[in-house]
Amino acid sequence: MTNNICIDDFLADDSIQNKERRIIIVLESPHVNEFEIGGNPIPAIGATGYALENKFSEIFDNYLKSKDSDIRFDDGYYHVFIMNAIEYQCSLGFSTSRYRDIVFKSLWEQNEIIDSFSSRLSKYNPIITISLCTKGNKTNFKKIALDSFDYCKDKKLTMRNMVINEIVSNSDLNQEHKIIRGCHPSSWNRRKAFRKFQKI
C-alpha cells in the first residue's frame, strides 16, 4: 500500500488506460482523523490505515486461497484504491456513536449521494470491489430504522448492507467484476473472526 495517489488524479493521467486492473476498497465515510486543520485530508488514517497497511494483504491472500473464492489473477500489477461511499464526514467530528449513523442514513436517502457513489464506482471500473463498511452502531441504527417507514420492516438493514446493495446494483461494471465484503479494518485487531472476507 505504497505510492499513494488520489484515484481521480491517477485516472486523469493520459497514460493510464481503462484496461488498468483496479481493486477498490469501499469504506462508509471519512473518519475524523482524516482531516487536519491546515493540512490535507488523508484517507484511512489512524487505526483503519494501520490495519489496511499491516493486515489487508494477509486477509486478501487467505480469501483467495479459500473455497469461497472464484477469483483467478493473471500475472501483473493491480492498483488498489480506497474510496468512501459518502465523501462527507458523517460523524461531524464527534464520536461515531453520536451522529454518524443518522447522518449517513439521511444522506444515503438523497439521490445525488447514491448517484455520486455509483458514478465514481463506474468511473473507477474495478475488477474487484471490496466493501469494508461498518455495520454501524446496532442500537442507534435500529432506532433510526424504526423511525423511518422506509426501513422499519428491514431487520437486516445496516450501513454495510445499504452500500453493498448499491454495489450489487452496479455489478454490470464489467464481466470480470467480483464483489467481496468484510468487517471494517478498525475491528480487525479485536477478533480473529473479523479478519476474513466473503464473496457476495
Domain locations in the chain? 27-199
Cβ–Cβ < 8 Å for 194, 56 = no
Which cell is 141 given? 441504527
Residue in 41, 33, 34, 52 with CA at minimum distance from that of residue 183: 52
What are the respective helix, strand and coil percentages of the chain, to the nearest 5? 40, 10, 50
The pLDDT, as a whole number, for residue 184 is 94
Q: What is the DSSP letter of 29?
A: S
d(CA 79, CA 119): 19
What 34-42 contacts at long range (C-beta under 8 Å, 24+ apart), as own/partner pairs, is 34/89, 35/89, 35/93
For the chain, 200 residues long, give each residue's pLDDT as a single digit of tens.
445 555 555 555 544 555 678 999 999 988 776 666 555 666 677 788 899 999 999 999 999 999 999 888 888 888 999 999 998 887 777 777 777 888 888 888 889 999 999 999 988 889 999 999 988 775 555 555 555 545 444 556 788 999 999 999 877 656 678 999 999 999 999 999 999 999 98
Q: Which residue do the cell numbers 484496461 mark?
A: 19
In degrees, rounded to 5, the angle at the alpha carbon of residue 168 between the alpha carbons of residues 33 and 126 is 65
d(CA 22, CA 176): 11
The pLDDT, as a whole number, for residue 7 is 54
Strand-pair category, 178-182 with 22-27: unpaired
Q: How far apart are the first and last CA of the chain?
A: 24
